[in-house]
Amino acid sequence: MSWEYVGRIKGDTGDTGPVGATGSVGATGATGATGATGATGATGNPFTIYKTYASISAMEADASNVPEGMFVAISSTVEDPDNAKLYLKGENSFSFITDMSGATGLKGDTGAKGDTGNTGATGATGDKGDTGDTGAKGDTGDTGAKGDTGDTGATGATGATGPVNLASSLDTTDNTNAIKNAPVATAIQNLQNSIGAITSAQTSNLNLLGS
């Protein structure tokens, strides 16, 4: 038995069927690997108020003189609704950031120096302090200057009578006794040299020998 081709019997494409129901949520995938650390950003500028203005119109008129990225503020009066508003300078204009009303006010200029106050009353006398420790012994002072010469003392009492020079008591000019006086004087002098001082009685006896 053999087959004979008679043509295709596929019909035309039917209309699209209705959308099927949403399927259930699939399981969560595994966590991906941590990405590489990004490059360090440029150091930011500290928060400062670059400039203050009395009004918004004054601020906008000065826009070309404010660098991009700088903060400016309106500093007028508490009655002004724009007072204390903070703006950030963009490339060409200012952007409103926040209203700082009720926050700490902007630092004002240093005030002038006040007048000197009156001198205060003298305080009460404090209690007497404790006695300090005895200090170290001082160095010996320099020798004083020589004193003035004292007054002359009173004359002393007369001393005792000294010994008699027997040889000089003889009268060697007596020609009568010249023969006897010369050798006697010599003998008396030799005797006195030998025995030293003699008494007045001994002197008288020796003088008799030479007379």
Compute and round to an integer the Cα radius of gyration of the chain: 73
* pTM tops 0.95, yes or no: no
- 85: β partners: 99
Do 191 and 165 form a contact (C-beta atoms < 8 A)?
no
Q: What is the pLDDT, as a whole number, of residue 167?
A: 44
Neighbours of 133 (CB within 10 A): 6
The pLDDT profile of the chain, 211 residues, written as one tens digit per residue, is 677 776 666 667 788 888 888 888 888 888 888 888 988 888 877 889 999 999 999 999 999 999 999 999 999 999 999 999 999 999 999 999 999 987 566 677 788 898 898 898 888 888 888 888 888 888 888 888 888 888 888 888 887 765 544 444 445 555 554 445 566 667 767 766 666 555 666 666 655 555 5
Q: How far apart are CA 67 and CA 92, in angstroms?
A: 10
Q: What is the pLDDT, as a whole number, of residue 85?
A: 96
Q: Which amino acid is at 15?
A: D
Q: What is the pLDDT, as a whole number, of residue 207?
A: 59
